[in-house]
Structure 1
Amino acid sequence: MPVLRQVVGETLRGLRMRQRRTLREVSASARVSLGYLSEVERGQKEPSSELLAAICGALDIELSELFQQVSATLRREEKLAYAGRVAAIPGSGAARISTAPMGDSGPQVRAHVAA
C-alpha cells in the first residue's frame, strides 16, 4: 500500500522537474526552506495544507491539480496491489509453471492451476 506523503512528494518532484526548476528556485518562490522541501519531495515529511498551497503556488499549479495527480497514482498502485493479492488467493485462477526433472526427451514443463 503506498504511503500518501511519498506519493505527494514524488508528484511534486515530477512537476518541478518537468518545469526544469531547481529545488532552490521553488523553495525561494514558495518561501519554504530548501531542506524541508527536499524532505517533502523524498516523502520524509508530511506537508501541511498551507505548505502544499505555497509549493503549488510556486509551481504555478492548482492544489486540486496536485491532488488529482496524487489520486490517480494512488488508484493505480492500489489496483496493482489488489490484483497481486487476488492472484495469490487459492482458487483465484492463478497459475504457476514449474519444470520437472529432465527425462530422456529433455525438460518437461508442468502447469499447476490453483483450485
Structure 2
Amino acid sequence: MVLFRRLLGEVLRRRRLEQGRTLRQLCGDARVSLGYMSEIERGQKEASSELLASICAALDVPLSEILSEVSDAVALAEAAALVRVRPLELRSDKVSSPAADGDVVASAA
C-alpha cells in the first residue's frame, strides 16, 4: 500500500537537503518542533494543511509544487505495485504465467 505521508516526507526532506538546510533551521523558520518535523519527514506523522503550508513557506516552495511531486511519486509507486503483482493468465489447457516473458508476477495460493 502506498502511504501518502511517507512520500510527502521524502519530498519535503529532499527539498530541505537540496537547499543545504538542517532540520533545526527548517523547524525554526516553519515554527514546528524538531521532533514533529522529523516524524513528518520519516512518514510517521501526518502534517495538517496549516502546518504543511508553513513548511512550504519556510522552504520557499509553493504548496502546489510539493503536492504535484508527491502525486507523481504516488503514481510511480502504484505503477510499480501493479508490475510486481499481476494475476496469472488462464488458458483453457493450462495455467500460464507471463513470467516466461520476463515479467514479474505473483499469485495468491
CA distance in 2, matches of 1:63, 1:78: 22
| Residue 40 (structure 2) pairs with residue 40 (structure 1) | yes
| Residue 99 (structure 2) pairs with residue 94 (structure 1) | yes
CA distance in 2, matches of 1:13, 1:2: 18
Q: Which amino acid aligns with 1:60?
A: D
- Percent identity for Structure 1 against Structure 2: 51
Q: How many residues align?
A: 95
Structure with greater proportional strand content: 1
**Alignment TM-score, normalising by the size of structure 1:** 0.78
CA distance in 2, matches of 1:90, 1:77: 21
| Residue 64 (structure 2) pairs with residue 64 (structure 1) | yes
CA distance in 2, matches of 1:80, 1:39: 25
Offset, 1:94 = 2.4
2:15 maps to what in 1? 15
Q: RMSD in angstroms over aligned alpha carbons?
A: 1.5
CA distance in 2, matches of 1:70, 1:56: 13
Q: Which runs of 5+ in 2 are unaligned?
A: 90-96, 103-109
